[in-house]
Amino acid sequence: MSSDDIYILGIHMTKFGKHPDSDVVDLGAEAAMAALADAGVTMADMGILAAGNLMNASAGFGQQLQKQIGQTGIPVFNVANACATGATALRTAIMAIKAGECDMGLAVGVEKLAGAGLLGGGGGGGKSDEHKWEPSGRFGAVAGVDGRIGTAAMPGTFAQVGMEYLHENDYSGEAFELFARISVKNHKHSTLNPLAAYTKEMSLEQVMGDVMIAYPNTRPMCSANCDGGAAAVVVSGAKLKTLSKEQQRRAVKVSASVLTSDPWQEACQVLPDVNTLTRMAAEQAYEQAGVSPEDLDLVELHDCFATAELVHYDNLMLCEPGGAVDLFESGATWRDGSTPVNVSGGLESKGHPISATGIANIWEVCHHLRGEAGDRQIEGAKVGLAHVIGLGSACGVHILESSAA
């Protein structure tokens, strides 16, 4: 192992779901202490703490967390970056180690979202009861997004993204059923994940017959708002060499860690583009890791909605351009397929406590690469990809490889 390499030494996610008796500090501390124990180290070994929370904590969440897990005087970075918050916290710790400021760090992401309802994108201000347009807020010059030139609500945004993809690629089948079958896959996968918020298999009829949120996404096709935390301990390759053979064996190499935002385009700068920054991140990650999409043994991608999963097959280059439908129809993305996607159950079943998701997706991949995923284990898994995207916009892609030790 090179001294320049970065490894995940320990990682943990809490059970996702409703935790009425725990606040974000409780959940963050549970995840952090378990990750440290998994790594076989203590808070005294950490040289940096990156703490991610988007919607619940007051200023200084990381410092509040320190009071529970150990105040050691190290730098604390409080991170908020939409749904990519957890991945950004991890990248913050990785960059500190790469910069030579420390040889070990802790990243935590936590959120309480049970019962939060639909989450908006914040694209525009409130509307007047008058039947007239009134400019207001940052985007006042082009009017509020919602209901006028699109929607700022997440279900509507990603519904549009999925339907646009099918239109651009001349899909002539039944769109509603296609996306519903993606959800059926993920709910089926969730039955093998005891930490998922929902572990219930759902038939195609049940998915299609549930409450419509934003066509073609019904309720089971949407990510589940819930409570949860996740944490990871990262270590330099040089430091890992000094640790035990067992720690080296279980360490997972971070072959690529990429974070992107929207590039400038000759297009509307207000409406979100979930495709370009994901494709940019994927291209950079494959180059950084020296692997291709064909080398991946599993993928955990950001299926905030069933429509999002389909388009990200293409954005992550798991298929030829325009070939996402064919990839899914081939059965490749099922657990027993050639490119298993969201074996955890995905955000639709595992749940989506926003700031925890980026690290939780990595947790899933790590467990397969370690051979510790239990009944849902992808046999022989050596290389995996974890992806998150947050509107605003931010995209994180990590490529992970099993240890050669």
Overall average pLDDT of the 52-61 stretch: 85
pLDDT at residue 64, rounded to an integer: 95
Residue 153 confidence class, pLDDT cut points 50, 70, 90: confident
Count of CB atoms situated within 10 Å of the CB of 403: 17
In a domain, 214, yes or no: no
Residue 16 confidence class, pLDDT cut points 50, 70, 90: very high
Output Rg (C-alpha) for the chain, integer angstroms.
20
| Residue 96 near residue 257, CB atoms below 8 Å | no
What's 393's domain CATH number?
A: 3.40.47.10
Overall average pLDDT of the 334-346 stretch: 98
pLDDT at residue 142, rounded to an integer: 54
The set of residues, in sequence order, having a beta carbon less than 8 Å from that of 140 and lying 6+ positions away, is 125
CA 188 to chain centroid: 19
Bond into 216 cis (ω within 30): yes
- Report the percent of the chain where pLDDT is more than 70: 88
The pLDDT tens digits of the residues spanning 375-397 come to: 999 999 999 999 999 988 899 99
In a domain, 347, yes or no: yes
Count of CB atoms situated within 10 Å of the CB of 212: 15
| Residue 94 near residue 257, CB atoms below 8 Å | yes
- Report the percent of the chain where pLDDT is more than 90: 81
pLDDT at residue 59, rounded to an integer: 76
In a domain, 165, yes or no: no
Q: Which residues are catalytic?
A: 83, 352
In a domain, 256, yes or no: yes
Count of CB atoms situated within 10 Å of the CB of 273: 16
More confident site: 403 or 372: 372
pLDDT at 124 over 60: no
CA 123 to chain centroid: 22
Domain residue limits at 315: 6-115+224-402
pLDDT at 312 over 80: yes
CA–CA gap between residue 209 and residue 267 (Å, rounded): 37
In a domain, 1, yes or no: no
Residue 117 confidence class, pLDDT cut points 50, 70, 90: low
Number of domains in the chain: 1
104-141: buried (b, 16+ CB within 10 Å) or exposed (e) per residue?
bbbbbbbbbbbeeeebbbebbeeeeeeeeeeeeeebee
pLDDT at 3 over 70: no
CA geometry: angle 171, 174, 177, nearest 5 deg:
125
pLDDT at residue 4, rounded to an integer: 84
What count of residues does the chain have? 405
Closest CA to 303 of 368, 372, 378, 220: 220
More confident site: 294 or 59: 294
Question: DSSP letters of 1-26?
Answer: --TT-EEEEEEEEPPPB--TT--HHH
- Beta-carbon-side half-sphere exposure of residue 172 (alpha carbons within 13 Å): 0
pLDDT at residue 125, rounded to an integer: 45
Find the helix or strand (DSSP H, E) in which 246 lies: helix 245-250
CA–CA gap between residue 357 and residue 366 (Å, rounded): 14
Alpha helices per DSSP H over 123-192: 154-168, 175-190
pLDDT at 269 over 80: no
Closest CA to 373 of 13, 34, 109, 108: 13
**Is 111 strand, coil or helix?**
strand
Residue recorded with tokens 């993305």? 333
Overall average pLDDT of the 242-267 stretch: 95
More confident site: 78 or 267: 78
pTM: 0.92
pLDDT at 121 over 50: no
Q: Which of 39-53, 75-89, 152-166, 286-300 has the lowest mean pLDDT?
A: 152-166
Residue 182 confidence class, pLDDT cut points 50, 70, 90: very high
In a domain, 192, yes or no: no
The pLDDT tens digits of the residues spanning 22-50 come to: 999 999 999 999 999 999 999 999 999 99
Eight-class DSSP state of 262: P
Q: Give the mean pLDDT of the chain.
A: 92
pLDDT at 144 over 60: no
Eight-class DSSP state of 118: P
Overall average pLDDT of the 59-68 stretch: 93
Closest CA to 356 of 54, 114, 42: 54
pLDDT at residue 370, rounded to an integer: 98
Residue 114 confidence class, pLDDT cut points 50, 70, 90: confident
Question: DSSP letters of 61-104?
Answer: HHHHHHHHH---S--EEEE-BTBTHHHHHHHHHHHHHHTTS-SE
**Is 272 strand, coil or helix?**
coil
First to last CA, the chain: 9
The set of residues, in sequence order, having a beta carbon less than 8 Å from that of 50 and lying 6+ positions away, is 62, 76, 77, 79, 88, 89, 90, 92, 93, 96, 105, 106, 107, 108
In a domain, 395, yes or no: yes
CA–CA gap between residue 175 and residue 10 (Å, rounded): 41
Overall average pLDDT of the 176-205 stretch: 97
In a domain, 45, yes or no: yes
CA–CA gap between residue 293 and residue 57 (Å, rounded): 38
